[in-house]
């Protein structure tokens, strides 16, 4: 049974008070929908407010996540947040390797691998972001780039194979991949559903070959109310990772409810 995942990436928006007001409106307007989950990747300072707001009243369809973690569990790393600290603030998942981290902050493939490991060790579900730049796409390297990013970040599948404790195994089983073509993020340009499905199939094949056939693969990059339905109509697309169109609770509610009975 496919459980669609709607992931909001708030990026550098919505402080604690704004996050509380947002979640209050969202919870009021968007009752749980069978077969759908909604995850909120909040700025670190708002994590606790979001985690508090998504708990309670028996709602298990909502979850709070961090946008980034450091690979070490603790130490002298001024300005950084570790997996265990994010967990203490109430996070249950974390984005890893978002293209803005890679492009603007120089995050490498190897660092994403260490962050995936750190997330799993802390019991956080990693949402690993992969995607090609425009020039890579124009040189026909999309699949090569995406599989290289997967292979490094998941240690060619070793991440999933290794013997782990219960907490870590539960997180391993829930790893999520987000395919976000860099040229589609925040640009208003998005991949056609067929383009996305083509890359999703390659990702799915790579995952299946390494014993992860049920891993969810999200699409991200300028997803909005107008294009979400046709993207979700692709059986290869298990959900969406949304920046701009997730910042306003009523727009996000409409997006999450798209096509729901």
CA gap 47, 211 in Å, rounded: 32
- Tell me whether residue 7 or residue 30 sits nearer to ligand PGA (CB atom): 7
- Tell me whether residue 132 or residue 180 sits nearer to ligand PGA (CB atom): 180
- Tell me whether residue 43 or residue 123 sits nearer to ligand PGA (CB atom): 43
Q: Is 52 a catalytic residue?
A: no
Render the burial of 221-246: b for 16+ CB within 10 Å, e for the rest.
Answer: bbbeeebbeebbebebbbbbbbbbbb
Q: What are phi and psi of 34, to 5 degrees?
A: -50, 125
Q: Residue holding tokens 């130490």?
A: 75
3-class state of residue 227 by DSSP: coil
Which residue of this chain has its Cβ atom nearest to ligand PGA in the complex? 243
- Tell me whether residue 81 or residue 228 sits nearer to ligand PGA (CB atom): 228
Q: Is 80 a catalytic residue?
A: no
Residue 178 CB, nearest distance to ligand PGA (Å)? 7
> Which position among 100, 168, 180, 236 bears the catalytic label?
180
Residue 239 CB, nearest distance to ligand PGA (Å)? 12
Residue 95 CB, nearest distance to ligand PGA (Å)? 8
Residue 98 CB, nearest distance to ligand PGA (Å)? 6
Q: What is the CA radius of gyration of the chain?
A: 17
> Residue 6: in which H helix or E strand, if any?
strand 4-9
CA gap 199, 100 in Å, rounded: 20
Residue 102 CB, nearest distance to ligand PGA (Å)? 11
CA gap 8, 34 in Å, rounded: 19
CA angle in degrees (0–180, nearest 5) for 190-240-212: 115
> Which position among 37, 98, 132, 168 bears the catalytic label?
98
Region of residue 248 (phi > 0: left; psi between -120 and 50: alpha; otherwise: beta) = beta
- Tell me whether residue 13 or residue 114 sits nearer to ligand PGA (CB atom): 13
Query: 132: which residues sit within 8 A by CB, 6+ positions away?
Result: 141, 142, 145, 146, 181, 182, 183
Provide the token pair at 147.
């599989």
Q: Which residues bind ligand PGA (CB under 6 A)?
A: 9, 180, 185-186, 220-223, 241-245
Residue 58 CB, nearest distance to ligand PGA (Å)? 29
- Tell me whether residue 206 or residue 219 sits nearer to ligand PGA (CB atom): 219
CA angle in degrees (0–180, nearest 5) for 94-98-102: 130
Which residues does the annotation mark as catalytic?
Answer: 98, 180
């Amino acid at each position: 049974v496919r459980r669609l995942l709607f992931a909001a990436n708030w990026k550098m928006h919505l402080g604690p008070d704004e996050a509380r007001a947002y979640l209050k409106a969202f919870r009021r307007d968007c009752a749980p929908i069978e077969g759908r989950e909604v995850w909120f990747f909040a700025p670190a300072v708002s994590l606790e407010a979001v985690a508090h707001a998504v708990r309670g009243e028996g709602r298990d369809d909502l979850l709070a996540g961090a946008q980034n973690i450091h690979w070490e569990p603790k130490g002298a790393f001024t300005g950084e947040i570790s997996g265990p600290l994010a967990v203490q603030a109430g996070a249950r998942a974390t984005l890893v390797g978002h293209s803005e981290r890679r492009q603007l902050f120089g995050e490498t493939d190897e660092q994403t691998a260490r962050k995936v490991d750190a997330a799993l060790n802390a019991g956080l579900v990693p949402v690993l972001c992969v995607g090609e730049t425009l020039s890579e796409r124009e040189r026909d390297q999309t699949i090569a780039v995406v599989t290289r990013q997967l292979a490094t970040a998941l240690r060619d599948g070793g991440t999933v194979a290794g013997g782990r404790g219960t907490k870590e195994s539960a997180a391993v089983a829930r790893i999520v991949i987000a395919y976000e073509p860099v040229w589609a993020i925040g640009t208003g340009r998005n991949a056609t559903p067929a383009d996305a499905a083509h890359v999703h199939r390659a990702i799915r094949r790579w995952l299946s070959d390494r014993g992860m056939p049920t891993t969810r693969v999200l699409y991200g990059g300028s997803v909005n109310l107008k294009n979400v339905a046709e993207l979700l109509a692709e059986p290869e697309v298990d959900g969406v990772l949304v920046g701009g169109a997730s910042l306003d609770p009523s727009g996000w509610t409409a997006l999450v409810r798209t096509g729901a009975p």
